[in-house]
Amino acid sequence: MRLPNRIRAAGLVLSLALLVAGMSSAILAQDKAKQIDDLIGKYHEYAQFNGAVLVADQGKVIFRKGYGEANKEWNIPNTPDTKFRLGSITKQFTATLILQLAEQGRINLGGKITDYIAEYPKATGDKITISQLLTHSSGIPGYTEMPNFGKEMSRNPFTPMDFIKVFWDLPLQFEPGTKFTYSNSGYFILGVIIEKLTSKPYARVVVENIFKPLGMTNSGYDMPEPVLPKRAAGYQKRGSGYINAPYLDMTVPYSAGSLYSTAEDLYLWDQALYGEKILSEKSKATMFEPRITAGGGPASMRYAYGWFVGKQRVGSSQDSVSVISHGGGINGFNTLITRIPGTKSLVVLLNNTGGAPLGPMAESVLGILYGKPFRPASRPLVDLLREMIRTSGIEAAVSRFNELRTKKDEYSLSEAQMNALGYEYLQEKKLNEAIAVFKLNVESYPKSSNVYDSLGEAYALAGERELAIKNYEKSLELDPASESGIEALKKLKAQ
C-alpha cells in the first residue's frame, strides 16, 4: 500500500531529525573525549599519572586510553586492557560476595563474627556484626597501621586463618557501631567468613560468582607465581624518577585489597550493577544504602557496603552530583572508580606509579562530562621544591615555595608527595632538609595527624626530643588511635 505524500514527508523529516541528533551526539562525545585526552595527557606530561583511563557517558564508553608504561624497564605501554592491582576497590567485590550469601540465607548481616568463625575471641567476636565489618564501624584496629606491618608482616605469606590471629586479640578502638574508622582488618575477616561458608578459597569464589558470569576475563586474584599477560609492574616516585615498588606478599591484602582488573573489565562491572545478574534489586539497595559518616573519606560521603556514597563536586563549579565511588592504594598502584547512576556515567582511573592525584582528576573529568569549568593539570610543586633545595639551599627554597604555593592554577601541592620527599631526605640522612620539608607540610596541612607524626620522627632522629614529643602529641590529638604514634611517644618519654 502506498502511503500518502504528507505521511512519507513527515517520516523523512523525522528520520533526518534523528540522524542530525545522532550526529550531534557523536560530535559532542568526540569533543568530550578530546578534552579528557588533553587533560590526562597533561597529568602524564607532568609525571602525575601513568596508567589507563576509561570514561563512559549515558552508559556508553566515550574514551579509553593508556598513558605511559606498564613496564618501564622494557618500555611496554599501558593500554585499556592492561591489568592493574586494584587495592581497596577489592572491597566492593568482597561486599558483593557477602550479599550473595545473604540472598542464599547462608549469612545474617546482623550476625556476629563468632557465628561464622568459632575460633574468634568471644570477647570481641560476640559484639561485632557482619554489617559493622562491611562499614568499617567494628572498632577492630587496621593491621596495615600496626607499627611492625611493613618490616615484619607485609613480605611474608600467611594463610587467612593464621593472619587474623595477628590482630584478633587487639583491644577495640571504640565500641562497635559508634563510629567509622577505615580498617582493612574487617574486610580480611569477611574473606575468611566467605571461605568458611563456601568451603572454597576466596580467589576462586570471586571468579566463579562475579568475574566469570560477567565475562571479566582480565580480572582475578593477583599472585606473583602465575604468568599473567599484560600485567602492569608497580613503581613509586623517587626523586625525579621511579623505583620498583617494594614487594608485598599478596596473601596479606587478601579480601581487603588483592584483586587485579582492567579499565575495560571495570566497565563491565559497572554495567552489571544496573541489572540483576549478580545481585537482586533489593540486595543492591542494601549495598548502596549510606550508613555511616565516613570520617577521613571523600568530602560529603557516607560509607555503604564496600562503597563511598554521596555528593561530589563537578569540575571547579559549585555544582555537585550523586556518586558511588571507591579508591584503592597498594604498593606501586593507586586506583579510583567513580559511578554516576543518574546518568549511567563512569570514570575509571588506574595508575601504576603510586600517588597520582586521582580525586582531582576525576573531578575535572566530571566537569568535562557535564559541561562545567574544571581545573586543568598543574605542575607538582614538590618537584620544584626538590630542585630548589638542590640548587639554592633550604632557606631560599622555602621562601620561593611559600610564594609559589599560592598560585594554585599553576602548581599543585600534595600532602603525600611532600611527605614522601621528606622521607627521601631522611633516608639520605639529610635531617635539616627533611625537617624543613615536613614543617612546610605541617603549615600546608595543619589538620592532618600524619604530617605531625612525620615531623616528630625527623626531630627524634635529629636528637630534638622536646620538639619530637610536641609533634607526636599533636599527631595523637588529631588521631588518638595511631599505634605508631603511641609507641613512638612512649619511647621518647621513657628516655
pLDDT at 237: 86
The values of phi and psi at residue 326, to 5°, are: -165, 145
Strand ranges across the sheet with 320-330: 60-66, 51-57, 345-351, 333-340, 320-330, 308-313, 301-303, 292-293
Q: Give the strand pairing for 411-412 and 69-71.
A: unpaired
Give the other-Cβ count within 10 Å of 137's Cβ.
24
Give CA–CA dist 467/326, Å, rounded: 37
pLDDT at 404: 92
User: Across the chain, which distance is largest between two alpha carbons, in Å?
Assistant: 101
3-state secondary structure of 367: helix
Domain covering 379-494, topology:
1.25.40
pLDDT at 364: 97
Using one digit for the tens of pLDDT, what is the confidence trace for 55-83? 999 999 999 999 999 999 999 999 999 99
What is the chain's percent helix, strand, coil content, to nearest 5?
45, 15, 35
| pLDDT reading at 226 higher than 50 | yes
More confident residue, 211 or 28: 211
- Give the residue among 61, 58, 71 at the shortest CA–CA distance from 36: 61
**pTM (predicted TM-score):** 0.87
- Give the residue among 461, 392, 470, 471 at the shortest CA–CA distance from 431: 461
Using one digit for the tens of pLDDT, what is the confidence trace for 244-282? 999 999 999 999 999 999 999 999 999 999 999 999 999
CATH 3.40.50.2000 matches 87-369? no
Q: Do domains 87-369 and 379-494 have the same CATH topology?
A: no
pLDDT at 297: 47
Residue with the three cell numbers 591489568: 83
Give the other-Cβ count within 10 Å of 223's Cβ.
13
Residue with the three cell numbers 586492557: 81
pLDDT at 22: 57
Residue with the three cell numbers 562545567: 372
Domain boundaries along the sequence of the chain: 87-369, 379-494
Q: Give 222-271 as a DSSP string.
A: --SSS--TTBPPPEEEETTEEEEPPP--TTTTHHHH-EEE-HHHHHHHHH
pLDDT at 21: 52
Tell me the pLDDT band of 19, cut-offs 50, 70 and 90.
Answer: low
